[in-house]
Amino acid sequence: MNKSKHKAGMPALKTGNKKYRLLSRIPGIRALLEKSPVEDIGNHELLYGTALLHNPYLNKGIAFTEDERQFFGLKGLLPPAVLTLEQQVVRLIENVRAQSSDINRYITMMSLYDRNITMFFRALIDYIEELMPIVYTPTVGKACQMYGQIYQRPRGIFISENDRGNIAEILRNWPYRDLSIIVVTDGERILGLGDLGANGMGIPVGKLALYTACAGIEPTSGLAVTLDVGTENRALLNDSLYIGVRQGRLKGKPYDDLVEEFITAVKEVFPCTLIQFEDFAVNNAIRFLKEYRKRVLMFNDDIQGTAAVALAGLFSAMRITGGELKNQRLLFLGAGEAGTGIADLVVYAMANEGLAPEEGRKRCWFVDSRGLVIKSRGDLAEHKRPYAHDHTDIHNLLDAVKRLSPTVLIGVSGQAGAFTRDVIKAMSEINDKPVIFALSNPTSKAECTAEEAYKWSDYKAVFASGSPFGPVEGIGRTFVPGQGNNVYIFPGVGLGAIISKARHVTDEMFLAAAKTLAGQVSDEDLSIGRLYPSLKRVRDVSVAIAESVAEVAYEGGLAQAERPDDLIGFIRSRMYDPVYRSYIEAI
């Protein structure tokens, strides 16, 4: 077998085999090969016969034409019928719908990802409203809880304390060099489900699927990483099928040193790659954002993405209530990274409207597990202190609503049912159109349902949620609640940062993203109570957000790429579109 050294990201191509030589000329396949560091990629068997069917990036399944089957040694390996991609997707959707549960639908979709990536993304894009809750929230939460039981094929990279000193080498094991985005978690705060350890890998895998479906990031351009630093979840540690390190969580300096080595290794191996932090515990998430945001291209989706999607919802809500953001009084249930992240961006936006930051902070109040966050409390974490005001102690949410008279109530607590009938009625007595956001997910953790918010407010509520809820009938009309899902924000922000080759991701970019998202909401959307555009338009929304984020980078001197004359056209030209290429015609 002919082998030669792999250099500068280019594979050693074997030119002695005609079929390989022709196949390597096909647009898309050549690009895929050139991303791979496999030394002997020239072995034609990797791209011929059953090996071609087993390559999820190249496999078309029963859609291979008669000529392709003859040329690539597939005759007899497939049923005689030749179906189109569209027909394959229809069959897939029928199979997904026939499953007995959402977790089985998730398994069906992820199994398809392992076989045929083009079909997977064609289906996800075309049926985004139906499949996104399966591929990501809320079903991904259940998938993470069961990750050991449903694990099938490896995805992404796992890094543990035992890998200290070798993280850069481990990253080089990834078979694709041309990365645009890394999504990393340590699994300590998975959605509202808590510490799931290595099982948290389902989150970055799901996020990357949405990057491709919603913003057109090439599937080979994303990498999911789990920093497996142990878990405090005793049920997992005692589970014989648990896939992670069986130890308590790494803490203190050893933990920080592992994260530092990971960041340094990414800069060395993938120097231009955006890093997205996901589902770290609140203190670590805030610390790492502060530590790394000026050193590398990174952001934290739980803090900044959640903040931007919530702010966009508030901008939309103001179009219904007729108010101005700078005049609102916000009450948050939950004072973790999501809540204070929203407040920070809201204050930034209020300052953009002319309100001094210290005045903006005075308009944001928090209730945590111990009651109202006030200055006299001596146990406050650093991230809560800017929002600790002078006030007498209040021990529960209902009293806080009655005494503070908020115009906006935002739930980021993970406490199911915390927005009770009495709380929502109190908000409705204070406001003609109370703004109520129940943003915790998955659905089982929502502070209230859409139906509860509408009915208990006599259908006056301006409502949004973190998890999907169906339409609600009432007072002779249909209300369609908007889902404040980060999928409206992070794919476009990431795409804009990648297109412009931004040095950093800034608060100004997230404010621009929030304004752009709100601008995508039509009067028709608002007329049915929806504060966000239809998910069917999410790719167009991502393009608009990418443009606004890239413009911030260009105008602020943060871009390392030249601005193209037609920025929108350039962005669209770079987006992955899942279609089958004719291998024979390409030759």
The yes-or-no verdict on residue 28 having pLDDT over 80 is: no
285 touches 276 (CB < 8 A): no
Q: Which of 531, 494, 488 is nearest to 509 (CA)?
A: 494
Place 29 in a pLDDT band, splitting at 50, 70 and 90. Answer: low
Residues ≥6 apart with Cβ < 8 Å to 369: none
Extract the tokens encoding 26.
């096909």
- Residue 473 pairs in a beta bridge with 478
For the purposes of burial, counting CB atoms within 10 Å of the CB of 210, is it exposed (0-12), middle (13-18) or buried (19 or more)?
A: buried
Instruction: Identify which has the larger pLDDT, 57 or 21.
Output: 57
Task: Give the whole-angstrom CA distance, residue 306 versus residue 437.
Answer: 12
Per-residue pLDDT, 196: 98
Per-residue pLDDT, 12: 35
Task: Give the whole-angstrom CA distance, residue 440 versus residue 543.
Answer: 27
Q: Which of 51, 114, 61, 115 is nearest to 84 (CA)?
A: 61
Q: Which of 500, 491, 502 is nearest to 212 (CA)?
A: 491
Percent above pLDDT 70 for the chain: 91
For the purposes of burial, counting CB atoms within 10 Å of the CB of 18, is it exposed (0-12), middle (13-18) or buried (19 or more)?
A: exposed
Mean pLDDT of 531-535: 96
Per-residue pLDDT, 176: 87
Place 542 in a pLDDT band, splitting at 50, 70 and 90. Answer: very high
DSSP strand pairing (222-228 vs 482-483): unpaired
Per-residue pLDDT, 33: 54
Instruction: Identify which has the larger pLDDT, 192 or 571.
Output: 571
Per-residue pLDDT, 255: 98
440 touches 414 (CB < 8 A): yes
**Residue 279 DSSP SS3:** coil
Per-residue pLDDT, 584: 72
Identity at 115, one-letter amino acid code? R
Is 251 part of the annotated catalytic residue set?
A: no
329 touches 408 (CB < 8 A): yes
pLDDT (tens digit per residue) in 436-482: 999 998 889 999 999 999 999 999 999 999 988 999 999 999 999 99
Task: Give the whole-angstrom CA distance, residue 369 versus residue 395.
Answer: 9
Task: Give the whole-angstrom CA distance, residue 527 versus residue 480.
Answer: 9
Q: Which of 143, 257, 256, 273 is nearest to 218 (CA)?
A: 273
Q: Which of 195, 225, 216 is nearest to 125 (CA)?
A: 216
The DSSP result for 62-119, as a single string, is GG--HHHHHHTT-TTTS-S----HHHHHHHHHHHHHHSSSHHHHHHHHHHHHHH-HHH
Q: Which of 106, 113, 136, 348 is catalytic?
A: 136
Place 38 in a pLDDT band, splitting at 50, 70 and 90. Answer: very low
Extract the tokens encoding 250.
């790494």
C-alpha separations of 254 from 40, 162, 307, 411 in Å: 38, 11, 30, 34
- The secondary structure element, H or E, covering residue 87 is helix 85-98
Mean pLDDT of 544-549: 98
462 touches 529 (CB < 8 A): yes
Per-residue pLDDT, 582: 82
Structural domains of the chain in order of their starting residue, each with its CATH number: 18-83 (no CATH), 87-301 (3.40.50.10380), 304-484 (3.40.50.720), 488-573 (3.40.50.10380)
200 touches 230 (CB < 8 A): no
Mean pLDDT of 493-519: 98
Other C-beta atoms within 10 Å of 429: how many?
A: 12
pLDDT (tens digit per residue) in 140-187: 999 999 999 999 998 999 999 999 999 999 999 998 888 999 999 999
Per-residue pLDDT, 11: 35
**Least confident range of 45-49, 221-225, 380-384, 562-566:** 45-49
Task: Give the whole-angstrom CA distance, residue 147 versus residue 371.
Answer: 35
Kindly report the three-state secondary structure assignment for every residue of 383-442.
HHHHHCECCCCCCCHHHHHHHHCCCEEEECCCCCCCCCHHHHHHHHHHCCCCEEEECCCC
Residues ≥6 apart with Cβ < 8 Å to 144: 190, 191, 193, 196, 199, 200, 201, 202, 203
488 touches 532 (CB < 8 A): yes
Per-residue pLDDT, 517: 98
Q: Chain-wide mean pLDDT for the chain?
A: 92
Extract the tokens encoding 216.
């057109």
According to DSSP, residue 559 is labeled: B
pLDDT (tens digit per residue) in 207-237: 999 999 999 999 999 999 999 999 999 999 9
Residues ≥6 apart with Cβ < 8 Å to 22: 587
Extract the tokens encoding 428.
């409705």
Mean pLDDT of 96-104: 98
Instruction: Identify which has the larger pLDDT, 39 or 358.
Output: 358
Per-residue pLDDT, 52: 87
According to DSSP, residue 374 is labeled: B
Q: What angle do CA 108, 70, 577 make, to 5 degrees?
A: 45
The yes-or-no verdict on residue 378 having pLDDT over 70 is: yes
Kindly report the three-state secondary structure assignment for every residue of 121-139.
HHHHHHCHHHHHHHHCCCH
Task: Give the whole-angstrom CA distance, residue 573 versus residue 332.
Answer: 41
Is 136 part of the annotated catalytic residue set?
A: yes
Task: Give the whole-angstrom CA distance, residue 561 versus residue 498.
Answer: 9
Q: Which of 142, 207, 445, 460 is catalytic?
A: 207
Mean pLDDT of 66-86: 94
The yes-or-no verdict on residue 9 having pLDDT over 50 is: no
Mean pLDDT of 275-300: 96
Other C-beta atoms within 10 Å of 356: how many?
A: 11
